[in-house]
Amino acid sequence: MDKLGQVVRRNFIENYYRLLSVTHLTVNKVARPTAQKMATFIEEQVKTSPFISSPNPNPNTGISDFILKNIRDGILIGNDLALLPLNTLGNYLDESLVDVERRLQKEYGVNTNQWVFSLENLIILQKISQLADITLKEVSHINSFDTLKYLSAWSILQGLYMSSYEKQISSRRSELDFQRDSPKLFELRQIQEELLYFSTFAHGPYGKVLNTFYRDRPEILKLLRLTDFTQDFVSHTRIEEADVLHCFWDSTPYKPAFVIAREQFKRSIVLCMRGTRHWADAITDLDFHYLKFSIMKDPYNENFFIKYHFREDQEYLKQKLGEDTREINGGIIQPLTGKEEPIVTGYTHAGMFLSAIGAYHEVTHKLEEIFSKPEHQDFSFSITGHSLGGGMSTLMVLLYLVHPLKALKDNTMNGYSYGGASVLSEEFDKYMKPVMKSFILGDDIVPRLSYGSITDVCKIILAFDEINKKDPKTLDTVLKLNSDALLSNKDEMSNRFIEFYENFKRDHMTSRKLLPMGRVFHMQDVKAQPVRRNQSYYDFVLREISDKKYFDEMIFTTQVIKHHFPSLYEEGLVSSKVLFQNYLAK
């Protein structure tokens, strides 16, 4: 009965906490701000009213200044008194919510951050909202119709340029990569097999709902059923349940789900980072501002570490991350002299980096334990993920390069990112290239998203707005362009607009970008046919992209979301494999 009573009591407190947090949100984030705006409006009206605010007796009514002053002061005092109950209630809810959260954590070990309206989550959401407001402030005066028109014009120019670029790539590919005896062709085939194999581990953590979203199955039933993530992962990757060595499925902000699996065929321990599937993952995604950091060498022990360079508005990151990562290396931490030269300095996605640091501390002890076992001495280490998981896998690779696993012999590590968020600036690429492979399907928008690319879109809108004000005909001409006809004719107009695009990009798209890391492989449909069910989706071809700036801007096509789905990544790799086999069989 005692245990039953504790369960009932805990459920009561948890439900009370949820009700309290919703009430807190309603009062402090809706009612109080609305009332404050109303009170401010009344105060402004009182102070500016020619009747009430007049310092002299009103000649028409004969009301003295003394009476007018009392009327004005009475209204202002009443205004303040009207806010008092809401402010008192709001403060009480703040204190009560803190007390209940502490009680749940202390007595029952409940992580209240799993509830979207917890205090910490609301603070995070407020910071994200402020960041979005700052980012979009410059274009807030432009109406939605004009914004859509400007982005449509940009999309047409972008398509014209990209089509021209694709034709250049295609000609080089047919001359080099598709010769049957070309070493490049066989290397690409091996990489394609490797990417296909580990894609199941990148997509497995989602569960069957997302992995089968585009297949002809009763999806409504799948969406309604409760997901057993471990069973779904085992089924998708075709490993034994005993080979799931450790897992965490309940995402919280800055702590995405992950699983550590043992892959017997390739003799690899695989750390699989799950992509965005939970509201908490979306918070991690949306905290997209940049964090600057350096990789340095400790002058006292020759170990590498990461040193952060926080902005003034990143105090919350400083509280969570500290000054650097030297505590990971252990031993006595000596004060730095300030003369240490960084090996490399660059930028990262703040939310995902914070998540990666947390995941590193979470999994490293377990990985050391796994690799120290005799049966795992010849196992390599692989890190993989899709979307948010792809960005996380990139950062985890970086962290294990800086702070290697002690039990992993020869540091045999490889990372695989599938449609991963771009999380590092180009300065880190040369260090990631030997161990990281990034795979991007078609027009997938996620690898092209960063704070810099979003800022550039705002700059594009502003620039087109200026063009439209000065010469509306230019915009109308662009909107009437047909890129296929222009490219087939190869006339002066197509060259002129391609040059216009290049100059426009050079002059306006100047924000710092985060880019895919390591060796980047892009898969594009050679026939550019839409996805159709019950048949081969695409004739995909795989190629390596050496110029990372191919992915430094957002693109606007009908495929940007569809090409991000994990099931399509696997289908594309299967299609590419078939294309290779058919080509070699000719």
Q: Are residues 124 and 240 in the same domain?
A: no
Examine the fold and report which residue of 115, 139, 163 is the final residue of a domain before the chain moves on.
139
Q: What per-residue confidence (pLDDT) applies to 413?
A: 92
Among candidates 307, 378, 376, which has minimal Cα distance to 343? 307
Examine the fold and report which residue of 427, 448, 469 is the final residue of a domain before the chain moves on.
448
Q: What per-residue confidence (pLDDT) applies to 175?
A: 36
Among candidates 275, 243, 294, 239, which has minimal Cα distance to 431? 294
* Average pLDDT over every residue of 69-91: 68
Q: Is residue 577 part of a domain?
A: no
- The range of the structural domain enclosing residue 223 comes to 177-287+306-448
Q: Are residues 214 and 116 in the same domain?
A: no
Q: What per-residue confidence (pLDDT) applies to 359?
A: 93
Is 80 exceeded by the pLDDT of residue 254?
Answer: yes
Q: Is residue 71 part of a domain?
A: yes
pLDDT band at 536 (very low <50, low <70, confident <90, very high): very low
Q: Express the helix, strand and coil content of the chain in percent, nearest 5 each.
A: 60, 15, 30
Per-range mean pLDDT, top range of 78-92, 165-179, 282-296, 541-555: 282-296
Among candidates 498, 508, 495, which has minimal Cα distance to 464? 508
Return mean pLDDT, the chain: 77
Q: Are residues 425 and 360 in the same domain?
A: yes
Q: Are residues 43 and 186 in the same domain?
A: no
Q: What is the pLDDT of residues 160-200, one digit of tens each?
A: 777 666 555 544 443 335 556 667 777 878 888 888 899 99
pLDDT band at 49 (very low <50, low <70, confident <90, very high): low
Q: Are residues 271 and 361 in the same domain?
A: yes
Q: Is residue 520 part of a domain?
A: no
Q: Are residues 325 and 241 in the same domain?
A: yes
Contacts of residue 429, defined as CB under 8 A and 6 or more positions apart, other chains included, come to: 515, 517, 518, 548
Number of domains in the chain: 2
Polymer length of the chain: 586
Q: Is residue 458 part of a domain?
A: no
- Tokens linked to 565: 């789905």
pLDDT band at 382 (very low <50, low <70, confident <90, very high): very high
Q: Is residue 48 part of a domain?
A: yes
Q: What per-residue confidence (pLDDT) applies to 26?
A: 76
Q: Is residue 491 part of a domain?
A: no
Q: Is residue 269 part of a domain?
A: yes
Q: What per-residue confidence (pLDDT) applies to 82?
A: 66
Among candidates 377, 379, 383, 419, which has minimal Cα distance to 400? 383
Is 80 exceeded by the pLDDT of residue 426?
Answer: yes
CATH of the domain at 266: 3.40.50.1820
Q: Are residues 120 and 210 in the same domain?
A: no
Is 60 exceeded by the pLDDT of residue 54?
Answer: no
Q: Are residues 265 and 390 in the same domain?
A: yes
Q: Are residues 343 and 259 in the same domain?
A: yes
Examine the fold and report which residue of 139, 166, 192 is the final residue of a domain before the chain moves on.
139
Q: What per-residue confidence (pLDDT) applies to 213?
A: 43
- End-to-end Cα separation, the chain, in angstroms: 75
Q: Is residue 232 part of a domain?
A: yes
Q: Are residues 376 and 239 in the same domain?
A: yes
Q: Are residues 94 and 209 in the same domain?
A: no
Give the containing element (helix H, strand E) for 87.
helix 65-108
Per-range mean pLDDT, top range of 159-173, 370-384, 556-570: 370-384
Q: Are residues 118 and 208 in the same domain?
A: no
